[in-house]
């Protein structure tokens, strides 16, 4: 992947990194919770980068972040907003947002949470055509508009849009469900226990996965890296937010609008209804688990009282 090596060469040029950091700061200045250290240009060259020193707790240290009292849901909501704005709105994307490049702290004046973003060496420019197509792709997967997923997927140069949706959302989508991606409700068979048909399906899935990644346009390769890194941070915090939903809220605002107002309104209503049902389902599940845990705890308490009574009798 020559474009990756080209990007890495740029990352070693600190003039480029300084300009990237300033672009990030200027393009996202409406996000008051984002802090990007200022560059001191008189003390900066291609081999030396001088910036303000920024204090904060690195997201590498999840336990310290939690013990310091930071709200992980608030952290993830803000992080996803920052990078969703880059992916779907500005098109100039930080492609290396691993935990070591992100810190959290409270603003000294307001006391509110701030996300500190550093190391702006590796960036990718996503042209507006790709940006709108990717926003439409993301939104369409959410509302299960299969035809639009295929259309926008082709605009992105994807040979297998269903596989890309599966990789991005971490669950089978479209034809991936039909050919058994995911092992059938989480049950995995050993190779020797598979039928010939199942082995063929597995080989087909493997081919589609490799082809999807290998054929990614250079503009999307590092964007995909950004998304997976943010997904990893969300996982490290125990998934406090629905990453797909938060990204979709930014995507829907920046996808190409339909000329038909009724169609646009219908899409928006479908989007809101999808998440209403999802939130209701999650709420009912949480309620069921609360009731279940209450009964289990009550039974355990009753059992403990019985054991105590037997002990006293003894």
pLDDT digits (tens, 9 = 90+) for 150-171: 999 999 999 899 999 998 888 8
Question: How large is the average pLDDT for residues 64-73?
Answer: 96
- Look up the pTM and report it: 0.78
pLDDT at 308 over 60: no
pLDDT at 189 over 80: no
pLDDT at 131 over 70: yes
Q: According to the model, what pLDDT value does residue 142 have?
A: 85
pLDDT at 1 over 90: no
Tokens in use for 292? Answer: 């279940």
**DSSP codes of every residue in 74-131:** HHHHHHHHHHHHIIIII-EEES---GGGEEEEE-TTT--EEEEE-----EEE--HHHH
CA 50-52-54 angle, to 5 degrees, is: 125
pLDDT at 108 over 60: yes
Q: Do the strands 57-58 and 34-35 form a parallel or antiparallel pair, or are they unpaired?
A: unpaired
pLDDT at 184 over 60: no
In the structure, what pLDDT confidence band is assigned to residue 61 with cuts at 50, 70 and 90?
very high
Q: According to the model, what pLDDT value does residue 30 have?
A: 96
For the segment 237-295, what is each residue's pLDDT rounded down to a tens digit? Answer: 998 998 988 998 899 887 765 556 666 666 667 666 766 776 776 677 667 777 877 77
Tokens in use for 109? Answer: 């004046």
Tokens in use for 127? Answer: 């042209």
On average, the pLDDT of the chain sits at: 83
Torsion region of 239: left, alpha or beta (phi above 0 gives left; psi -120 to 50 gives alpha): left
H or E segment to which residue 18 belongs? helix 14-27
Question: How large is the average pLDDT for residues 18-40?
Answer: 97
Q: According to the model, what pLDDT value does residue 313 have?
A: 40
In the structure, what pLDDT confidence band is assigned to residue 5 with cuts at 50, 70 and 90?
low
Range with lowest mean pLDDT among 126-130, 174-178, 238-242: 174-178
Q: Look at 66 and 211; give whichever has higher pLDDT.
A: 66
DSSP state of 57: E
Residues of the chain above pLDDT 70, percent: 77
Q: According to the model, what pLDDT value does residue 275 have?
A: 65
In the structure, what pLDDT confidence band is assigned to residue 56 with cuts at 50, 70 and 90?
very high
């Amino acid at each position: 992947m020559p474009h990756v090596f080209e990007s890495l060469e740029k990352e070693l040029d600190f003039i480029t990194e300084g300009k990237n950091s300033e672009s990030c700061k200027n393009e996202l200045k409406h996000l008051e919770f984002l802090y990007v250290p200022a560059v001191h240009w008189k003390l900066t060259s291609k081999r030396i980068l001088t910036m303000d020193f920024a204090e904060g707790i690195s997201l590498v240290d999840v336990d310290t972040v939690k013990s310091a009292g930071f709200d992980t849901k608030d952290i993830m909501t803000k992080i996803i907003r920052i990078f969703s704005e880059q992916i779907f709105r500005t098109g100039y994307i930080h492609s290396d947002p691993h935990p070591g490049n992100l810190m959290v702290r409270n603003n000294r004046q307001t006391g509110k949470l701030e996300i500190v973003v550093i190391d702006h060496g590796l960036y990718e420019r996503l042209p507006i055509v790709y940006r709108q197509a990717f926003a439409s792709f993301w939104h369409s997967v959410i509302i299960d508009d299969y035809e639009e997923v295929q259309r926008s997927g082709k605009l992105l140069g994807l040979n297998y849009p269903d596989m890309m949706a599966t990789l991005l959302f971490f669950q089978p989508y479209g034809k991936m469900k039909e050919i058994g991606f995911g092992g059938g409700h989480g049950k995995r068979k050993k190779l020797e226990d598979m039928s010939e048909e199942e082995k063929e399906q597995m080989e087909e899935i493997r081919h589609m996965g490799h082809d999807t990644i290998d054929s990614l346009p250079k503009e999307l390769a590092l964007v995909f890296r950004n998304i997976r890194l943010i997904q990893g941070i969300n996982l490290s915090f125990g998934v406090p937010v629905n990453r797909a939903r938060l990204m979709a809220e930014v995507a829907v605002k920046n996808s190409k609008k339909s000329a038909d107002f009724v169609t646009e309104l219908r899409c928006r209503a479908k989007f809101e209804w999808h998440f209403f049902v999802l939130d209701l389902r999650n709420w009912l599940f949480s309620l069921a688990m609360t009731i279940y845990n209450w009964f289990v705890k009550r039974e355990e308490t009753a059992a403990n009282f019985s054991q105590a009574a037997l002990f006293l009798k003894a």
